[in-house]
């Protein structure tokens, strides 16, 4: 995988994991396998900046269980909305 950050490009070997991460059907989970030292530093700086600017999933003052349940609630709402739109479509018969 090769992608750019404000600190420069990051070149990494990744492994694809499951699809539908966080209840989003088109998302693709992955894990980093290897990064060279420069890419590792660039990624670390970019992630630190994202946390500082509140672009993180990390929520201060809440534990992991609360955050997990909030993510689950959001996924259920998304799924419910998708099912509602399917139910509202007129039948083709």
The string of pLDDT tens digits covering residues 18-48 is 888 777 788 888 899 999 999 999 999 988 8
State residue 60 phi and psi, 5-degree precision: -70, 145
Cα separation, 45 vs 2, in Å, equals 16
What pTM value is reported for the model? 0.51
Give the DSSP H or E segment for 17.
strand 8-19
How confident is the model over 54-76, as a mean pLDDT? 72
| pLDDT, position 59 | 58
More confident site: 20 or 7:
7
SS3 call for 84:
helix
DSSP letter (8 states) at residue 21: G
Is the backbone of residue 62 left (phi > 0), alpha (psi -120 to 50) or beta?
A: beta
| pLDDT, position 83 | 82
């Amino acid at each position: 995988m090769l992608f750019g950050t404000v600190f420069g490009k990051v070149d990494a070997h990744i492994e694809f994991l499951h699809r539908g991460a966080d209840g989003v059907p088109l998302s693709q989970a992955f894990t980093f396998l290897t990064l060279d030292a420069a890419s590792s530093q660039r990624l670390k700086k970019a992630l630190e900046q994202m946390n500082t600017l509140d672009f993180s999933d990390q929520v201060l003052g809440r534990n992991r269980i609360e955050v997990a349940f909030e993510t689950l609630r959001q996924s259920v709402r998304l799924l419910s909305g998708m099912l509602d739109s399917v139910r509202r479509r007129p039948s083709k018969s």
